[in-house]
Amino acid sequence: MLLTILIALVVFILLAFFRATVISWVLAIMVIVPVVAIQARLSETILSVVYFLLFSVIVVFGVPFLRRTVVSATVLELYRKILPPISATEQEAIDAGTVWWDGELFGGHPDWEKMLAYPRSGLSVAEQLFIDTEVEQLCAMLDDWEITHKLADLPPDVWQFIKDSGFFGMIIPKEYGGLGFSAQAHSAVVSKIASRSGTAAVTVMVPNSLGPAELLLHYGTDAQKEKYLRRLARGQEVPCFALTGPFAGSDAGSIPDSGVVCRGEFSGKKGVLGIRLNWEKRYITLAPAATLLGLAFKLYDPDKLIGSEVNRGITLALIPAVTPGVQIGRRHFPLNSAFLNGPTQGQDVFVPLDYLIGGEARIGQGWRMLMECLAAGRSISLPASSVGGMKLAARTSGAYCRVRKQFNLSIGQFEGVEEALARIGAHTYMVDSARAFTALAVDLGEKPSVISAIVKYHATERGRIVINDAMDVHGGKGISLGPDNYLGRLYQQTPIGITVEGANILTRTLMIFGQGAIRSHPYVLKEVAAAREPDPERARQLFDDALFGHIGFALSNMSRSFVFGLTGGRGIPVPSGVVCRRYYQQMTRFSTVFALSADVALAVLGGSLKRREKISARLGDVLSQLYLCSATMKRFADDGRPLEDLPLVHWAMQDALYNIQQALAGVIQNFPNLFVRMTLGVLIFPMGKRLRPPSDQLGHEVAALLMQPGAVRDRLTAGIYIPTDEEDAVGALESALASTLACESLQEKLRAARKTGKLGSTDELLRIGEARDAGLITAEQALQLERDYALRRKVIMVDDFSPEALRAGQA
């Protein structure tokens, strides 16, 4: 028996490191059979039958003609019957965008050398200069309390500065008067502004995200580009894009808004061929101030004036807001945020056909156009704005926890507060890594549809964790709104990012794995395409290639998963010279396990997987965490692998890998088939679940980094706006942190003197004067301590108002 197990184990190891096929598995079984026969004392007749069956399998599967005729054709017919229906909008979403690093993770064997060889993230000289000058100047102009409480809008001079400085034209090429910035620069600009004002960040990012400018760049006619792009770049047009309506939110493909091809009067001319539009949209950012409205609607041609089809599909148009029948101006009020957002309606709005984005050639392509642009835009704007807020929370929380004292200790020294600081620091490090890695993908020409969903979801969800923890450690300082509160509005507005551009619940349960399983898998999309191929012979050939490639892929992953589970990933080759080699090995192991789990779920559950959202969500969690881990390793390498950053890297990676383990355990535990549950449990966790979350000691080290000025803290929070004015709340906190550290020895001297009875005053300022008069400290040191007291008091104090002032603000 032991010999059988040893031989089987050797075979499994060989299959784990060499590409498995059906034939290789049959040959492996043929090696094991004689040993089993001897152990079980099988007769020669039974043994002959077994060998005959195995040899038959080799013949059928090894001869392409027989395989396609006997196996592939039969499976193809069955596959067509169980293939779940995919709507036109779902198909366009699947087809949109490109596969990038998600393909490597789905492949079960990521090429880490390839990842590390991608260019390092970075900005051009012109981009960095813009951030250091125009963006810095804009941030200095922003008073978020005035914006959100008093004006409910940006001040007029800020609006004008944004327009004049080209903020609306970051993605527009220089040939059309724009800045022509990279995705990385776009991300850096939004992130820095978001660390100062969410309202300003949204105002800047929307014209550079999914909207008229991006749609025109990719799909507009030359005449449309010439007409609008320069005006958009200079801020002479304020754009918005209207997609969501009361009855079409996450299911945007069901929009009821319509356009009917007909003839009408336009600009005094009668009989103009155009479209009569009716729409009702809501949640449209910048709509209240927009001069140029992008619109998604369903186009109908009942009189067949432009073709033979009546239903022409989702189409996009660009409509000046002054067009008769367009209604804009009213506002929503999303969680006390002052960015302009509101509804728009249109009743019998007649426009000529040349208002269609891309002209008649783009009729019916609107949904695909939106999905492709969303893949790029969602990769940048929301992750960047979330990271800006997270970095602000990390920098201020670390400083506040060092400055604020209770029981004669900085509150950051309490272990409960350390836990929160560790989460704040590590989540910020990992999400910022993913932000930069994803922006790099866009600059490399990718439109990463699955990755954009991953980074949007985790940037906003982890942003929520970070701001919640930051509010906890700030206590009353965080909840008391006013000019000196730098977290309150960020906390209030966090759910907005979670809701928009794909609500996070649906993003996690439906989009990440649901789209990735088809789009990023190395074989599934090929199988689906073959099943829809009308030519029978070609369909069989394509399906045969995809099916048996898929089978070999699954068999390899099965053996690899088991072997890697036995070793914990040890022995897996990793790039030479890397620090954290065990993380690379564990990521490879879990990539293999993920590929196996995904295949099992698709094969066993089939179309019902679409309805089993919790299993789909957990598989999506595994893919997401693998991507975040990849980005973290890439960032650490690009930064030169500074050893002092390792506590952040270790906490982030250990937390993510532990969450991968738990997500896989959840998939296994909740799989509806008992046999599959038991098999997956053995293949994935043959030695049990061995990973643990980050230790308390590691959390202590991360917390210490956040409370200590230095290179690590500066790298973690690089790119945010840090005011130097001590009248500013954040500027005062920065000065208070430096002062607290500089005065620690003097404070200790005063505490010791008080304990020995040399100082009697209970008031801190009087005690400083008493120490000076007693000669315990110099006059200069007394001034230093008095300044330190004033700074700490400013940091700790919260705003208060007269009833009249509050009523005036509400009015």
Q: Which residues of 503-540 are buried (b: 16+ CB within 10 A; e: fewer)?
A: bbebbbbbbbbbbbbbbbbbbbbbbbebbeeeeeeebb
By DSSP bridging, strand 292-300 and strand 269-285 are: unpaired
- Which 3-state string (H, E, C) describes 213-237? HHHHHHHCCHHHHHHHHHHHHCCCC
CB proximity list for 56: less than 8 A, separation 6 or greater: none
Q: Dmax of the chain from CA atoms?
A: 108
By DSSP bridging, strand 292-300 and strand 311-320 are: antiparallel
Q: Which phi and psi (to 5°) does residue 262 adopt?
A: -160, 180
Angstrom distance (rounded) from CA 3 to CA 705: 54
Using CB atoms within 10 Å of the CB of residue 356, give its burial: 0 to 12 exposed, 13 to 18 middle, 19+ buried: buried
Angstrom distance (rounded) from CA 77 to CA 531: 8
Cα 175 to its chain centre, rounded Å, is: 31
* Ramachandran bin of 569, using left for φ above 0, alpha for ψ from -120 to 50, beta for the remaining angles: left
Closest CA to 329 of 294, 291, 289: 289
Q: Which helix (H) or strand (E) holds 53?
A: helix 44-62
Neighbours of 362 (CB within 10 A): 18
Decide: 284 and 342 in contact? Cβ < 8 Å: yes
Residues with catalytic roles: 501
Angstrom distance (rounded) from CA 35 to CA 20: 22
Q: Which helix (H) or strand (E) holds 265?
A: strand 258-266
Closest CA to 395 of 494, 492, 463, 470: 470
In 165-221, which residue ranges form alpha helices assigned H by DSSP?
183-194, 198-205, 212-219
CB proximity list for 238: less than 8 A, separation 6 or greater: 168, 207, 286, 289, 290, 291, 292
Using CB atoms within 10 Å of the CB of residue 476, give its burial: 0 to 12 exposed, 13 to 18 middle, 19+ buried: exposed
Using CB atoms within 10 Å of the CB of residue 497, give its burial: 0 to 12 exposed, 13 to 18 middle, 19+ buried: buried
Q: Which residues pair with 314 in a beta bridge?
A: 298
CA atoms within 13 A on the CB side of 140: 10
Q: Distance between terminal CA atoms of the chain?
A: 84
